[in-house]
Chains A and B, each alone.
Chain A
């Protein structure tokens, strides 16, 4: 695979998505370059999750374009997008609660046939997530929320993604657990995986991300480096709980 380093890995052009009869995303532009960690922040219902779902292929595109690694992806089914390297850790984790932890992880490697490499990747996930290893043969539904989130991320990594989409990995978790999860996210980013992170916890997300996009009722209203957005008074007022 040879792609021009100057061209974005993921490019959304005037992307529109309708969901449940309403237009949830009203024409957004977004670019993500190889190796970047970029976050997408905004209030509940701004269209962040909808955007990620459309990139992963589980929601249809109503208008505009999704380009990935140079190809238009608009109508490619989700299982083929995963084969191309797009993995989504869905909102609410999407763990298979009736499968064991190990089976969940192996589902992540579903499209792969390189047995030895899969085993090696499993070992790497275990070292990265020691809590997961202790619970391999447990049914995943019995894990705590934080452990499930770890499994969900580990599972996504087993597909060896080029682009990892993370939908609110901090949702409903205690601060200490969130810290752990973000450490994992950062170590994944360091390995060179491109990450698009959706978060309501804007403070945390902007601290970790190189760049950020702010989304409001289906549109992108602000963009900049993580540090610049953190310092922006409008962002501080709207998402970081400060009085304007």
Chain B
């Protein structure tokens, strides 16, 4: 019973991070039909920029409260990632807007390599310890079940950001323009929408969410390095496909479901395989899910929008 609740908590925590990243994939796909494979690396840049900022602040103002430090580091990471998202769209993807679909896809993989290499040049090849500014001392709400304040913060912040995003997309003028542009660029421009600006805005919002997710991911595991974006990026992409790519609610659901499956899988894989595999094989669950979804329900749990995109 404790194991069950413990895995539920762990799954919810990592699932919220996947959901935040998945939103970036799904928003860009919804509006451009592009899988931005460099999205995971934006997360890495967010984590490393936050790390750098914390280091700087610790040197400059050692007396600063950890919470203030974390907030500043987070804000710097968000701004840098938003600029990165904007630049990426402007320089790499915009000129390929009308190119065959394979061209922007391969470009995205290229951008991913570029970001990883740049990060490696700047921050080196080593794993960096990510400062734990929110307490990681586990609380024990139930005997045998552990949850850290970091984990609580991750779940609450993710939930708040997701609600905020839904309000932005469904209740504001720019959100309406985003949905209109996603459905038909040409007609949206006939309504007076500067579709290039809306597309850039979509990249910027997605990158901002990835920055937060990066800081969460690094805080949760306590490490950061130049290749850290690859795996969560791939898993969040799986989550987006699982929920139905192009669908915001789907990305949130897909992220949480994937986090739970992975966590329960890791918790019980030893029993299931009679000790043949242990919890370090937890990554296989994401890809088993990706395979199954693509074979049996390619539109995902909530999606029915894949086929109508050119």
Interface residues of A (CB under 8 A from B): 56-58, 77-79, 82-83, 87-88, 90, 94, 96-99, 103, 106-108, 110-111, 155, 159
Cβ-based interface call for B97 (8 A): no
Q: Is the CB of B193 within 8 A of A96?
A: no
Looking at chain B's contact residues, is the secondary structure mostly helix, strand, loop, or mixed? helix
CB closest residue in chain A, given B174: A110
Interface size class of B (residues with CB under 8 A): 10 to 19
Cβ A90 vs Cβ B192 within 8 A: no
Measured between alpha carbons, how far is A83 from B177 in the docked complex, in Å?
Answer: 16
Q: Which residues of B contact A78 (CB under 8 A)?
A: 189-190
Q: Which of A77, A97, A98, A108 contacts B191 (CB 8 A)?
A: A108
Contacts of A110 in B (CB 8 A): 173, 176-177, 191-193
Q: Which of B166-199 contact A (CB under 8 A)?
A: 173, 176-177, 179-180, 183-184, 186-195
Known: A58-B189, A98-B183, A103-B176. 19 other contacts (CB 8 A): A58-B186, A58-B190, A78-B190, A82-B190, A83-B192, A87-B190, A88-B190, A94-B184, A94-B186, A94-B190, A96-B180, A96-B187, A96-B188, A99-B176, A106-B173, A106-B176, A107-B177, A110-B191, A159-B192
- List 20 A–B pairs whose Cβ atoms lie within 8 Å, in order of A's numbering: A77-B189, A77-B194, A79-B193, A79-B195, A82-B192, A83-B192, A88-B190, A90-B186, A94-B187, A96-B180, A96-B187, A97-B183, A98-B179, A98-B183, A103-B176, A106-B173, A107-B180, A107-B193, A110-B191, A159-B192
Residues on A with C-beta less than 8 A from B176 are: 99, 103, 106-107, 110
Give the chain B neighbours of A87 by CB distance below 8 A.
Answer: 190
Which chain A positions have C-beta within 8 A of B193?
79, 107, 110
Q: Is B177 within 8 A of A96, CB to CB?
A: no
Give bound CA distance, A56 to B192, whole Å: 11
Cα of A56 to Cα of B186 in the assembled complex, Å: 11
CB distance from A182 to the nearest CB of B (A): 22
Query: What's the nearest-Cβ distance from chain B to residue A24, in Å?
Result: 17
Interface residues of B in 250-302 (CB under 8 A from A): none
A contact residues around B186 at 8 Å (CB): 58, 90, 94
Residues of chain B with a CB closer than 8 A to A97's CB = 183
Interface string of B89-119 (1 = CB under 8 A from A): 0000000000000000000000000000000
Question: In the complex, what distance in Å separates the CA atom of A94 from the CA atom of B183?
Answer: 10
Docked CA distance A130–B173 (Å): 25
**B184–A96 CB distance below 8 A:** yes
Given A96-B179, A99-B176, A99-B180: A90 touches B194 (CB 8 Å cut-off)? no
Residues of B within 8 A of A96 (CB): 179-180, 183-184, 187-188
How distant is the Cα of A110 from the Cα of B183 in the complex, in angstroms? 16
> Chain B 183-222 against A: per-residue CB contact (8 Å), 1 yes, 0 no?
1101111111111000000000000000000000000000
- Report the Cα distance A234→B6, complex, angstroms: 83
Residues of chain A contacted by B187 (CB below 8 angstroms): 90, 94, 96
- Residue among A58, A99, A111 making CB contact with B192, cutoff 8 Å: A111
Distance in Å from the Cβ of B170 to the closest Cβ of chain A?
Answer: 10
Chain A residues with CB under 8 A of B195: 79
Q: Which residues of the other chain, A, contact B192 by a CB distance below 8 angstroms?
A: 79, 82-83, 110-111, 159
Cβ-neighbour of A82 out of B177, B184, B191 (below 8 A): B191
Chain A residues lying within 8 Å of B191, measured Cβ to Cβ, are 79, 82, 107-108, 110-111, 155, 159
